[in-house]
Amino acid sequence: MKSWKLTPKIEDVAKYVECYWFLEKELHDQSPSYPKLNPDPFSHLIISNLTGTYEYTHRAKAQNVSGSHWIFPHLKTFTMDHSAPFKIVGVKFKIGALYSLKLNNFSSKLDMVEMIDVNHLIGSAAFNPDQLLMNAAEQKQQVCNTLDEVLSPWLSDCQEDNHSHLVSQIMLFLGDTAISKIGKKLHRSQRTIERSFARVTGLSMKQAQSMIHLEEILNYLYQLNKEDINWAYVANKFGFSDQSHLIRHLKSTIGKTPVNYALDRDLTIDIYGDFEFD
């Protein structure tokens, strides 16, 4: 398995893009064929060649796409079919970025994947996904530079409004502040911040915060062997009232109890690793 993650270098791009990432499964790679993608408040643009086919399944309901596609914010855990070799580059957009990009009905696409013509999206016929992917494993900085170059004209033309500006302020507090206290910190009513957040992201603040905290928990667990996990300590560390509260949370978000998760370790972070920024 080959992978990397890089941040954009151009300011107009970095304003909306969290990072670029690369993942390649080769023919003889022995990693599990059906990893699970945990709930995520971010949108990812997946750049693939036209022949690539991808399946995302939740509770026996499958969504199938070919070539480049969007993975929109999702509250559900998707099971992905990674049984065949593949090579993809991902563009991870910041929470709420799609609102400023004026994508039609983005807020109704929660829990969905959707095929996309990348050239049409960015307004450039010159972009060649196959060429980008060809040597992406070895030429990561060149890939980053190419994406900066092709995305910059599109993203620099984005228009923000009062709602998107407010959400940018909310995001500064959402990770480590009780939702009920954020309005006071920003000198806005709770109703105002909740409505703007839902309008810009398609999510409630509670949903987004829950997914952010879930990622923190999973990142922490990834670093431990299953026999070293103290679930009572994990519950206390991440602000749960008790271990039972943590069990209910993991069951509702990733569909597994802590014990079952520790046995299976089948989320993408466990299979592909929490690869760090290069």
pLDDT tens digit sequence for 28-38: 888 889 999 99
Cα separation of 65 and 111, whole Å? 14
Cα separation of 182 and 250, whole Å? 25
Cα separation of 141 and 165, whole Å? 31
- Copy the structure tokens of residue 208: 């987004």
Question: What residue spans define the domains of the chain?
Answer: 2-155, 162-203, 206-272
At the fourth CATH level, the homologous superfamily of domain 206-272 is: Homeodomain-like (1.10.10.60)
Can you give the pLDDT at residue 276? 67
Cα separation of 58 and 221, whole Å? 23
Q: Residue 20 pLDDT > 90, yes or no?
A: yes
Cα separation of 62 and 73, whole Å? 16
Q: What is the pLDDT of residues 132-172, one digit of tens each?
A: 999 999 999 999 999 999 999 999 988 899 999 999 999 99
| Higher pLDDT among residues 188 and 260, named by residue | 188
Q: What is the architecture, at CATH level 2, of domain 2-155?
A: Sandwich (2.60)
**Residue burial 238-272, b: 16+ Cβ < 10 Å; e: rest:** eebeebeebbebbeebbbbebeebbeeebbbbbbb
Can you give the pLDDT at residue 269? 82
Question: With contact defined as beta carbons under 8 Å apart, do 193 and 96 qualify?
Answer: no
Question: With contact defined as beta carbons under 8 Å apart, do 114 and 70 qualify?
Answer: yes
The residues that bridge with 6 in the sheet, in sequence order, are 20
Can you give the pLDDT at residue 37? 94
Cα separation of 77 and 54, whole Å? 15
Burial grade of 119 (CB within 10 A; 0-12, 13-18, 19 or more): middle
